[in-house]
Amino acid sequence: MYPVTLNLSGRRCLVVGGGAVALRKVEGLLFEGAKVTVVSLRPIPPIMDLSSRAVIGLESRGYWPGEASGYSLVYAATDDRKANRKVFEDAKASGVWVNVADDPQLCTFHLPARLLRGTLQLAVSTAGEAPFAARRLRELFERRFGPEWGEWVKAAARFRKTVRGVRRSEEEEARLFDRFFRSTVDAKRLTARVPAAAEEVAWLSGTGRKKKPGLVSLVGAGPGDAGLLTLRGRQRLLQADAVVFDRLSEAAMPGDLPRRVELYSVGKQAGLHPVPQEEINALLLRLAREGKRVVRLKGGDPYVFGRGGEEVLALLEANLPFEVVPGVTAAIAVPAYAGIPVTHRGEAVQVTLVTAHESEKQSGPQVRWDLLAQDRHQTLVGYMGVAALPEVVKKLLAAGMDPDTPAAMVERGATPGQRTVRSTLSNLTADAQRADLRPPSIFIIGPGVRHAENLNWFTTRPLFGERVLIAAPAGEFGEALEKNGAVTVEVPLPLTPAAQVLIGAHPLTGCILRSADEASIVFEESRTPGFGPEVIAWCLGKETAHRARKLGFLRVKEIESPAGAADLIARLKQHRRARNTYTKPSMRSMRQ
């Protein structure tokens, strides 16, 4: 098939048929400015509405033999193949392009699946043989080609007009167009940006830009569920030259970051600060001065007890550009994952966020525990509260808070290892210690806690606690796993450095192996932190299982081939039912 693009503006086009398929054809033609006539005995209401508003012409009748010859383009979309064939034969005999829906043999052209970004069009066609594949490829391109491409095309058109307005040789024009493209398009990530006017002036004058400092983006990673990373945050990560990350942000690291991206672990976590804040600030300044695009990836939100303000002040003092990409803070997300509404009409009308460490300050209180204790219609959420909880409870009780106030502590919220202790204010300390809750944990004190048993949705799903590795693309397996409560760790093979960080964020419970080759590659990567001897290799088919056992996987579960997502989920559920509690996998190598 010979690909072309048609200008249908003002052209008369015919659609024979009045159903949903015909409506899609009508809408596509109208988008291109065509004058559309529909012929149908039983048009659906949306088509009748277009006619009533004089957007299209509608003939409520059957197709007349020979009438296709009076149009520039014809679609047939009836459920009568004999009628469709007649339309096709008439149009073909008159030299009119014709397409019969879902019948490639009765087409002189095929409509591709299109992605539109302004005047930029990306078309995918299978010559009518596999339209479902074309549609899904278009959906893939939609995720990779963002809306910025529409503005980029406008900028490219303006730049071309400017270049053509000045007398230059063909070689000079080609050089300028190449420079525009190289400077504004990231070919690996398929992202584009609109150049500044000063850049275009420099290109046209033949001068280069001086090296400018890179942008530092402080990105909130959320509290543990990678799905809570914002769209802007992911975009900045995919555009980065360097990523500086905390221990609590590792689960949000995209596994498909290119290998060229520099990764710097500053390792901050509760009770352990191997990299002083001053050194983190200095690292950000150095990377930005080198002109790198830097992402400072921080757990939760950068400005909620994340010391993001200190890092921004250091950048500001050094006159380096920065931005802040907010994240979902633990005080909002973790209670929601534990079934606790932090506000509830008639019960809690305000939320107070505190860092429980302030209860231990010897220089004087920065938190007025006495005032907080008097408000019965608030929710009090405390960060970093494990060690300080006894003192917090003591101060609140001493200030008059009701000992029976509902209270809870949540460990590792929004992760596969989430554990919740629900209690009362007076008993919370003892109950949390009995359960051996450890950092990172937050406490929630307030009336909303009493709803947790009914509103708990996260830990009640059948595969909660499963964290499963799968090679990209995860496809239907990934969708089914997440729907049932498992965490899917989707990574490229062989692993990128970013994927290794992602895997090590929390222990794996299993890996899905869809072929013998995948088994070999995954086993080679099994020294990555996050793997342990308890990791189950879920193998699709006998050959895959045989390879896994031969390689040395310690726990192999075979799923008979042909195996789909439903088979895998059923086996995983069966396995979960056989286990009474979630057991934290050790970090020993699978090779032991």
In one-letter notation, the amino acid at residue 235 is Q
Report the distance separating Cα 578 and Cα 566, nearest Å: 19
504-513 pLDDT, tens digit each: 999 999 999 9
Q: Is the pLDDT of residue 98 over 80?
A: yes
289-348 pLDDT, tens digit each: 989 999 999 999 999 998 999 999 999 999 999 999 999 999 999 999 999 999 999 999
Report the distance separating Cα 235 and Cα 191, nearest Å: 9
Mean pLDDT of 241-264: 93
Residue tagged active-site, from 25, 86, 90, 246: 246
Nearest of 105, 204, 122 to residue 159 by alpha carbon: 204
Spatial contact of 467 and 509, defined as CB atoms under 8 Å apart: yes
395 is a catalytic site residue: no
268 is a catalytic site residue: yes
Tell me if the pTM is above 0.85. no
CA atoms in the 13 A half-sphere facing the CB of 572: 32
Confidence band, pLDDT 50/70/90 cuts, at residue 203? confident
Residue tagged active-site, from 25, 86, 268, 292: 268
Q: What share of the chain is helix, strand, coil (3-state, %, to 5)?
A: 40, 20, 40
Whole-number pLDDT of residue 561: 66
Spatial contact of 269 and 440, defined as CB atoms under 8 Å apart: yes
Nearest of 115, 96, 103, 107 to residue 11 by alpha carbon: 96
Confidence band, pLDDT 50/70/90 cuts, at residue 210? low
Spatial contact of 253 and 498, defined as CB atoms under 8 Å apart: yes
